[in-house]
Structure 1
């Protein structure tokens, strides 16, 4: 399926093995190798990345960047070690953010939302970048799966807090949702079900975004 998305014009593929951390295992390098064999576009892989050796295994298998989430929350110095060994251009910090129960801002959640860390998501994004993350993959836990659009306030806050690309994730179902996220400060938009379910093709979406005035790659 990844190869078909490249044919449609997608700019980058992101593979997140979201159950790897919950199950205490590492993302399979064989899967990455098989996907890479059919792709020529950038590939980001996350799930179960804890130490530089985990990242090395995925990069050697063909990933261009690795995403780290829970392990970085548990020990932020892991970001320093990854950036020192591979360069910040290879390091993506994936942040799952949920609105605080009192409605004041957002906190980092891990383990599929089961663990509310109490850590401020925007402050964590800034700290992660200071430690070496070259991109922020920001998922709204509240919006993810709703098909009601991204959390635009969250995107605005994050985009204004860091000087690296912010990738919006969680909630997209229409071209308007993607356009709104870009307007809120996202440098890129990640979408899954909108394509997996066959609602639209990548080419259709990019042409529609271009008509709305968004900058898209040909």
Structure 2
């Protein structure tokens, strides 16, 4: 199957913020979480650096049965004026409504969608497909084969990632947040074959997440993986590169990203 090439259209640069309680955290393979600092301070910094979007993920929502980010999102919405996607613990249309009322623009659903795929259709019908982001935690289980996981990459589902994404898009998912658990936090670059397998199977935008170690890592996943957006966490949190450096790398390579002049 022919791989889509995203170079001809704008590729979004997205800052990802994983949240535990009141703190911004970061782990490796979605485990071993370390506190980074204040979500609001980092989100504002990335916004001022020109992030096209922000993604907030509640890492412990599954423990509590609901998303606890409403206050954090409400605070962010006062000062940040780019789209915000919020995920973790969203199990119903009512949960989605609460997060959107707090200031989010999109909701990301993983565990609840696997348990009840009709939730995808319900959210898409209520708020539009562009609002319904399917979050996928993928682990490689064989050559060219990945399984969808839940609970920060701990729980197996038995679902093939490509088959699951195709099913979810048919149900109304308008975007895919595709996280490689194998690469997440490792700084070894994106799982390009994973991204390519999914981007080749569906026509909705794919956000590649997990593994970005240097600005140049985005080139392979965009050109050869067909990613429409890249999510960055570790590389930004530890100041190993700024959004402006990532943007300049993309522009030099002929990849269209939004030009942004810091004031």
TM-score (norm: length of structure 1): 0.97
Mapped to 1, the partners of 2:85 and 2:67 lie a distance apart of 15
Equivalent residue number for residue 175 of structure 1: 215
Structure with a larger share of its residues in strand:
2
TM-superposed deviation, 1:114: 1.8
Q: Residue 150 of structure 2 is aligned with which of 99, 110, 125?
A: 110
Deviation per CA, 1:134-154: give whole Å up to 9, x if none. 100000111111110111000
Cα deviation code 1:31-60 (max 9, x no counterpart):
110011110111111111010000000111
Task: Please state whether the residue corresponding to 2:227 is helix, strand or coil.
Answer: coil
Deviation at 1:22, TM superposition (A): 3.2
Paired position in structure 1 for 2:17: none
Say if 2:19 is the partner of 1:19.
Answer: no
Structure 1 gap ranges (5+)? none
Aligned to 1:189: 230
Which residue in 2 is equivalent to 1:203?
A: 244
Alpha-carbon distance in 2 for matches of 1:2, 1:156: 29
Greater share of helix: 1
Specify which of 135, 138, 144 is matched with residue 184 of structure 2.
144
Q: Displacement of 1:25 after TM fit? A: 2.8
* 1:201 to partner: Cα distance: 1.1
Distance, in Å, in 2 between the alignment partners of 1:175 and 1:191 is 10
Matched position secondary structure for 1:56: helix
- Measured in 1, the distance between the counterparts of 2:180 and 2:190 equals 7
Please give the alpha-carbon distance, in whole angstroms, between the structure 2 residues aligned to 1:24 and 1:57. 14
| SS of match in other structure, 1:81 | helix
What is the CA deviation profile of residues 166-200 of structure 1, one whole-angstrom value per residue up to 9, with x for unaligned ones? 00000001112111111110000001010011111
2-side partners of 1:99 and 1:109: how far apart?
Answer: 10
Alignment of 1:51-130 (within 5 A): 51-100=92-141, 102-130=142-170
Unaligned runs of 5+ in 2: 1-41
RMSD value, Cα = 1.0
- Pairing partner for 1:48 from 67, 84, 89: 89
Task: Report the 3-state secondary structure (helix = DSSP H, G, I; strand = E; otherwise coil) of the residue aligned with 1:125.
Answer: helix
What is the aligned residue count? 217
User: What's the TM-score once normalised by structure 2's chain length?
Assistant: 0.80
Deviation at 1:89, TM superposition (A): 1.0
